[in-house]
Chains A and B, each alone.
Chain A
Amino acid sequence: MLRDITIGQYYPADSVIHKLDPRVKLFATLLFIISLFSFRNVWGFLVATIFMFSFIHFSKVPLGYMVKGLKAIVILMIITAIFNLFLTNGKELVSFWIFTITYEGLRNAILMAIRLTYLILGTSVMTLTTTPNELTDGLEKSLSPLNRIHVPVHEIAMMMSIALRFIPILVEEADKIMRAQMARGADFETGGIIKKAKNMIPLLVPLFVSAFRRANDLAMAMEARCYHGGTGRTKMKPLTYAARDYKAYAIIILYFIIMMILRFAVSVGNF
Chain B
Amino acid sequence: MSIILDKVNFVYSADTAYEIQALKNINLKIEDGEFIGIIGHTGSGKSTLIQHLNGLTKATSGGIYYNGEDIYDEDYDLRSLRNKVGLVFQYPEHQLFETTVFDDVCFGPMNQGIGKEQAQLRAFAALKSVGLPEEIYYHSPFDLSGGQKRRVAIAGVLAMKPEVLILDEPTAGLDPKGRDEILDQVAKLHEEQGITVILVSHSMEDVAKYVGRIIVMNQGEVMFDDTPKQVFGHYKELESVGLAAPQVTYLMHELHDAGIPVTTDATTVAEAKEEILKKLGR
A interface residues with partner B (beta carbon < 8 Å):
3, 64, 173, 176-177, 179-187, 201-202, 205-206, 209-210
Given contacts A64-B17, A183-B89, A185-B108, contact A206 B83 (CB under 8 A): no
9 A-B interface contacts by CB (under 8 A): A177-B94, A179-B51, A182-B56, A183-B87, A184-B160, A185-B82, A185-B108, A202-B95, A206-B96
Give the interface SS of chain B, mostly helix, strand, loop or mixed.
helix
Q: A187–B157 contact, CB under 8 A?
A: no
Most B CB within 10 A of own CB, among A176, A182, A201: A182
A202: contacting residue among B79, B97, B160, CB under 8 A: B97
Q: B95–A206 contact, CB under 8 A?
A: yes
Tell me, yes or no, whether B54 is within 8 Å of chain A by CB.
Answer: yes
Cβ proximity bits B171-197 to A, threshold 8 Å, 1 near / 0 not:
000000000000000000000000000
Cβ-Cβ contact count across A and B, 8 Å cutoff: 58
13 further A-B contacts with Cβ under 8 Å, apart from A184-B82, A206-B94, are A64-B17, A176-B94, A177-B95, A183-B87, A184-B107, A184-B111, A185-B82, A185-B83, A185-B108, A186-B107, A186-B111, A202-B97, A206-B95
Complex Cα–Cα for A28 and B95 (A): 44
Complex Cα–Cα for A201 and B104 (A): 12
Complex Cα–Cα for A173 and B95 (A): 10
Taking CB atoms and an 8 Å cut-off, the chain B residues in 198-248 that contact chain A are: none
A188 to chain B minimum Cβ distance, whole angstroms, is 12
A179: contacting residue among B56, B83, B97, CB under 8 A: B56
Q: Which residue of B lies closest to A71 (CB)?
A: B16
Complex Cα–Cα for A181 and B89 (A): 10
Q: A179–B111 contact, CB under 8 A?
A: no
* Residues of chain B with a CB closer than 8 A to A177's CB: 94-95
Given contacts A184-B111, A201-B97, A202-B95, contact A176 B89 (CB under 8 A): yes
Q: Which residue of A lies closest to B156 (CB)?
A: A184
Cβ proximity bits B81-95 to A, threshold 8 Å, 1 near / 0 not:
011001101001011
Given contacts A185-B79, A185-B160, contact A180 B95 (CB under 8 A): yes
Q: Which residue of B lies closest to A176 (CB)?
A: B89
Complex Cα–Cα for A259 and B86 (A): 61
* Residues of chain B with a CB closer than 8 A to A202's CB: 95, 97, 107
Q: B56–A210 contact, CB under 8 A?
A: no
Complex Cα–Cα for A205 and B97 (A): 6
A11 to chain B minimum Cβ distance, whole angstroms, is 13
Complex Cα–Cα for A177 and B93 (A): 10
* Residues of chain A with a CB closer than 8 A to B160's CB: 184-185
* Residues of chain A with a CB closer than 8 A to B95's CB: 177, 180-181, 184, 202, 206
Tell me, yes or no, whether B112 is within 8 Å of chain A by CB.
Answer: yes
Tell me, yes or no, whether B72 is within 8 Å of chain A by CB.
Answer: no
Tell me, yes or no, whether B250 is within 8 Å of chain A by CB.
Answer: no
Q: Which residue of B lies closest to A62 (CB)?
A: B17
Complex Cα–Cα for A187 and B97 (A): 15
Q: Which residue of A lies closest to B142 (CB)?
A: A209
Q: B56–A184 contact, CB under 8 A?
A: no
B86: contacting residue among A176, A183, A186, CB under 8 A: A183
* Residues of chain B with a CB closer than 8 A to A3's CB: 13
* Residues of chain B with a CB closer than 8 A to A183's CB: 54, 56, 82, 86-87, 89, 157
Q: A187–B89 contact, CB under 8 A?
A: no
B111: contacting residue among A185, A201, A205, A210, CB under 8 A: A185
* Residues of chain B with a CB closer than 8 A to A173's CB: 94
B20 to chain A minimum Cβ distance, whole angstroms, is 12
Q: A180–B97 contact, CB under 8 A?
A: no
